Structure 1
Amino acid sequence: MGVAQEEQTFTALLGVAAVAGLTTLILLLVEATSVLLPTTTKFGVVLDAGSSHTSLFLYQWPADKENNTGVVSQALACRAQGRGISSYAANPLGAAESLRDCLEEAVAHIPQAQHRETPLFLGATAGMRLLSQKNSSQAAEVFDAVSQVLAQSPLDFRGAEILSGRDEGAYGWITANYLLGRLVKYSAVGKWIRPVEEALVGALDLGGASTQISFVPEGPVLDARSQATFRLYGTTHSLYAHSHLCFGRDQALLRLLVGLVQGNPTGPVRHPCYHSGYRATLAPGVLYESPCVRDPPSPGLSQNLTVEGTGNPAACVAAIRTLFNFSSCVGRADCAFDGVYQPPVRGPFYAFSSFYHTFHFLNLTAGQTLDTTNATIWAFCQRSWKLVEDSYPGQGLWLRDYCASGLYVLTLLLDGFGFSQETWVSIKFRTQADGTDLGWTLGYMLNLTGLLPSEAPAQWRAQHPGVWVAGVVFAVLTLVAILGAFAVQLFWPQD
């Protein structure tokens, strides 16, 4: 082969190498750019139709990471006007109209092109459970009216339903552990890891009409009615999840008041959980409208009654304890109250909803000891009504109930659920985790939209930016070297 032919062959090889290097560089740059560019955001909407009010939650997540953990965030929380939809039993259209403002706010937040692909759910909890027990036809009418309004929205309405108490508790458990990264997370070294079981947290939820407790017990759950099983990220979780209907904050305080009225039907009713100096009148007939109040009204309760506060926390605790049947669990380690099966509490817990709101008002969410918590509530209960009103202006009707609420929370957690002086420190009173409200709604949406895979996720496709930088630099250097050799071959004087 002659020199000219060798030069032509070398030139051809250099050209091929240059084109290959340039192609590699372009592909790397395109791929790196696609990793760094923002992805399409997806949305989901859940309406929490509780007993006291309805809240709307709008969630968002990157479309290309919908099977990864820790990517769903809360974009909007809106509290609907009025009370819960169950309070509109005599006016179903009013229940539907109460949701419009929040729904319109959520729709405006979502790009119009994504309206039809955005799922919309409504889940009703204990308030509608009680209405269904009391009058199933009224409950059906409320649901029909609400469903018609939601179906008219531009979003993808996927139905309204009454959640079982067990599901409500279990979804709250999923929400808490998902947001805290306890189900699965991506480690700093680029591997998916599943936290140990001891890192999972229990969930404590206190609504207006019911309260839920859910956690992973030490051994198997022995009552199928309180067992919830999920396979999440390749791991099967068997939970104890139970809801106590009529033990929510509002219904418990209603039952407490009814018991005091029954004890003194001619009045005035002396209420140990109301502050001394508090005085009000009430129409006794409304006390017996709830299915949670099973005792018939006393004769002669047609006239208004006078209620007077005495500010006696010891007597208040004694009255609250009458709401529970503790004797049915004497001698049993696996029993809460009213004969309900519950394994001993285990691990850390997150307490939210009215657990948090009650203790937040009392300034008790900073991890205070049980002794400090108890002393703080007692001291608050012993303050006069005039002093309390002056100290907390603008609190409305809820102000009179914080003493009773605080002592009720203590009784429920300690005597009811079985927390002790030692395990009290394991409870964190929180309203959010990772910027998202704690509650059942996120877990509910994740489950229904398939965002929680049953199997462990594959490795992330996207590499660390440093890998792409190194690849690009390598391609550039290779291309420069090839082009340099090509220039030398062309312009270097030949012998």
Structure 2
Amino acid sequence: MNWTCDRKSLAGISCQVVNPLGNSSSNHNVTTKHDRLSKMSGVFGMKLSMGKQVALAAVVVVMGCVGIIALILTLVQHHLVDLPHRMQYGMVFDAGSTHTSLYMYRWPGNKENNTGVVSQMLVCDVDGDGISSYAQDPPGAGLSLRKCLESALAAVPANQQRETPVYLGATAGMRLLQLQNHTQSYQVLEQVTKVIQGYPFDFRGARILSGMEEGAYGWITINYLQESFIKHTFEGEWVSPKGRKIWGALDMGGSSTQISFTPGQPVQDPASALGPKLYGYQYEVYTHSYLCYGKEQAMRQLRVNLLKMSGSTRPVKHPCYHLGYNITLTLGDLYDSPCIARPVTFDPASEVTFTGTSEPLRCLNQMKNIMNLTDCSLAPDCGFNGVYQPPVSGDFFAFSTYYYTFDFLGLAPQSSLAQATTTIDTFCRRTWDSLKTEYSEKDKYLRDYCASANYIMTVLLDGYKFNQTWGNIYFQRQVADTDINWTLGYMLNLTNLIPSERPLVVTGVQHGQWAAEVFFITFAVFLSLLVLAILLLWNP
């Protein structure tokens, strides 16, 4: 048997067995790998010529290139987009000597150079006197806070209440109570802590602030509100202002008064120097707090001095009270303060009557007697009571009692020294009856405006030495709808301890670029599919 083969097509080779007798006994086909591929293509109902296969491969390569190009464009042109930060909240109770107030602040989750951008959103005044007045009834101090805590509960979103920090800072009133009776001051703080902890907030503690802290935080508040640390631009960015102007702070409460400023020379007394770092900058601040020299304590000292000077004369003449005004107090009331030196023996129930005489000049002189203005080993760098103070430098905001007194007299926000002196003198000469007729609604404070004004003049001129720089003082209560006090500075400082939210970042492109890329990719895919369809359906 012989084999006879011949090439018939590209599909394969056909062979047959030739019988020696001259006839074919059988026919066998042997196919190559190429033939098997052609049969596989038949599964899809078509056979691709070599030209069509090359074209199809080209289309696939083009589509791959389109995808790579689009990816490269996106990666090269992308930028990071910060998603909006939710607001965070914080609260500070200002537990002063005469009253307590709750201040609520909020700030975005991100922070500028690690210091939160804080704004005031709520103020709630607690009913009654300061918490130090509850020395004999500590639970009452805690209960007095409930009204304002309920207001805070309504203001903070429910899902953020447990992460909202609450602080209570007590100032000079509690500092005096601590000196007077440490146990009672502890019990008062214990009771306010107990009440605040009963609310779904993150309570961070109740503490008594030092006088230096109170002064420094007031300084921070003023300069934050004046955008001395950081400024919001029209482009919506926060930047550190060039040629920044740093303000000084003058605060007077019921039991203490504070002065804080950046002096034009290095602070010589380390005990009066602070170096706060805010928004990436370090500052050197002089600050001092005079305990017992707030308005209420000064008025107490004045009455005791007048009583001593009067000898046995009764009633005791009071030059700062208006003619026609009389008040009777017990000796127990007069000496009920750690700021007052008590006699070795006295009858607390014994009464003393003070009668007003409307003598402004004598009133001013008596104010100087309650301050030590002469003994200072560091002269001329002195405040009063022998305390070191560098010369005042720059402009100042005077707030709290400073503002309320001068605003009542029509001297806020600014007045010349001559105008202030004349206005106070004229007011102090008026009778009590004429004042009650004109200011009946102010009766609660009306008695003390003359004394307060003369005390303020003594502190500013004789104590702090503003004689030549009186025009640098601005008597203000608010800046940018925010109260000037130590609480905002306190919260600003504490936001360095509150972790900033981790920013939510996505990768994005500009809208125009995104639209162009989508169009380019869509068009390329459409064109490729169109070419592929033509190749598959076209059969010449």
TM-score when normalising by structure 2: 0.79
Structure 2: distance between partners of 1:298 and 1:100: 42
State yes or no: 1:374 paired with 2:421: yes
Range that drifts further, 235-244 or 188-197 = 188-197
Structure 2: distance between partners of 1:354 and 1:418: 19
State yes or no: 1:408 paired with 2:439: no
State yes or no: 1:217 paired with 2:263: yes
Shift in alpha-carbon separation, 1:21–1:365, aligned structure 2, 3 A: farther
Range that drifts further, 254-263 or 278-287 = 278-287
Contact 2:377 2:386 in 1 (8 A): no
Which one of 279, 283, 289 corresponds to residue 243 of structure 1? 289
Q: Deviations over 1:170-220 (max 9, x none)?
A: 111112112222123355678865446761111111010000011111222
Contact 1:132 1:138 in 2 (8 A): yes
Aligned partner of 1:429 in structure 2 is 475
Aligned partner of 2:37 in structure 1 is none
The one-letter amino acid paired with 2:487 is T
2:102 is paired with a residue whose SS is strand
Structure 2: distance between partners of 1:133 and 1:104: 32
The one-letter amino acid paired with 2:67 is V
Aligned counterparts, 1:249-328, within 5 A: 249-264=295-310, 265-296=312-343, 302-328=349-375
Range that drifts further, 377-386 or 188-197 = 188-197
Range that drifts further, 144-153 or 251-260 = 144-153
Which one of 246, 250, 253 corresponds to residue 204 of structure 1? 250
The one-letter amino acid paired with 2:428 is C
2:515 is paired with a residue whose SS is helix
Structure 2: distance between partners of 1:301 and 1:268: 18
Structure 2: distance between partners of 1:86 and 1:236: 35
Shift in alpha-carbon separation, 1:70–1:381, aligned structure 2, 3 A: farther
2:317 is paired with a residue whose SS is strand
Range that drifts further, 357-366 or 303-312 = 303-312
Aligned partner of 2:59 in structure 1 is 8
What's the CA shift for 1:404?
Answer: 0.9
Structure 2: distance between partners of 1:196 and 1:21: 41
Which one of 152, 175, 189 corresponds to residue 129 of structure 1? 175
What's the CA shift for 1:275?
Answer: 1.5
Aligned partner of 2:32 in structure 1 is none
Range that drifts further, 439-448 or 251-260 = 439-448
Structure 1: distance between partners of 2:399 and 2:358: 27
Aligned counterparts, 1:46-85, within 5 A: 46-65=92-111, 71-85=117-131
Aligned partner of 1:352 in structure 2 is 399
Range that drifts further, 176-185 or 203-212 = 176-185
What's the CA shift for 1:305?
Answer: 2.6
2:147 is paired with a residue whose SS is helix
State yes or no: 1:231 paired with 2:277: yes
Aligned counterparts, 1:135-214, within 5 A: 135-185=181-231, 187=233, 193-195=239-241, 199-214=245-260
Aligned partner of 2:515 in structure 1 is 476
2:448 is paired with a residue whose SS is helix
Contact 1:85 1:142 in 2 (8 A): yes
Structure 1: distance between partners of 2:280 and 2:73: 43
What's the CA shift for 1:140?
Answer: 1.6
What's the CA shift for 1:434?
Answer: 2.5
1:308 is paired with a residue whose SS is strand
Contact 1:198 1:347 in 2 (8 A): no
1:147 is paired with a residue whose SS is helix
Contact 1:44 1:445 in 2 (8 A): yes
2:466 is paired with a residue whose SS is coil
1:203 is paired with a residue whose SS is strand
Structure 2: distance between partners of 1:196 and 1:165: 32
Structure 1: distance between partners of 2:200 and 2:526: 63
Structure 2: distance between partners of 1:253 and 1:18: 82
Aligned partner of 1:342 in structure 2 is 389
Contact 1:316 1:404 in 2 (8 A): yes
Q: CA RMSD for the aligned pairs?
A: 3.4
What's the CA shift for 1:296?
Answer: 2.1
TM-score when normalising by structure 1: 0.86
2:440 is paired with a residue whose SS is coil
The one-letter amino acid paired with 1:352 is F
Which one of 100, 116, 135 corresponds to residue 89 of structure 1? 135
1:447 is paired with a residue whose SS is helix
1:170 is paired with a residue whose SS is helix
State yes or no: 1:105 paired with 2:151: yes
Q: Deviations over 1:306-329 (max 9, x none)?
A: 222111111110111101111113
Contact 1:364 1:373 in 2 (8 A): yes
Structure 2: distance between partners of 1:370 and 1:451: 43
What's the CA shift for 1:355?
Answer: 1.0
Shift in alpha-carbon separation, 1:414–1:147, aligned structure 2, 3 A: same
Structure 2: distance between partners of 1:369 and 1:240: 26
Of structures 1 and 2, the larger Rg is shown by 2
The one-letter amino acid paired with 1:158 is R
What's the CA shift for 1:98?
Answer: 1.3
Contact 2:114 2:496 in 1 (8 A): no
What's the CA shift for 1:399?
Answer: 0.7
Structure 1: distance between partners of 2:366 and 2:342: 16
Contact 1:336 1:417 in 2 (8 A): yes
Contact 2:108 2:116 in 1 (8 A): no
The one-letter amino acid paired with 1:432 is Q
Aligned partner of 2:89 in structure 1 is 43
Structure 2: distance between partners of 1:118 and 1:97: 21
The one-letter amino acid paired with 1:16 is G
What's the CA shift for 1:339?
Answer: 0.5
Shift in alpha-carbon separation, 1:300–1:164, aligned structure 2, 3 A: closer
1:61 is paired with a residue whose SS is strand
| Structure 1 segments unaligned to the other structure (5+ residues) | none
Identity over aligned pairs, percent: 45
The one-letter amino acid paired with 2:511 is V
Q: Deviations over 1:387-413 (max 9, x none)?
A: 211211222331110111111111111
Structure 1: distance between partners of 2:302 and 2:255: 13
What's the CA shift for 1:153?
Answer: 2.0
Q: Deviations over 1:343-367 (max 9, x none)?
A: 1101111111111111111121132
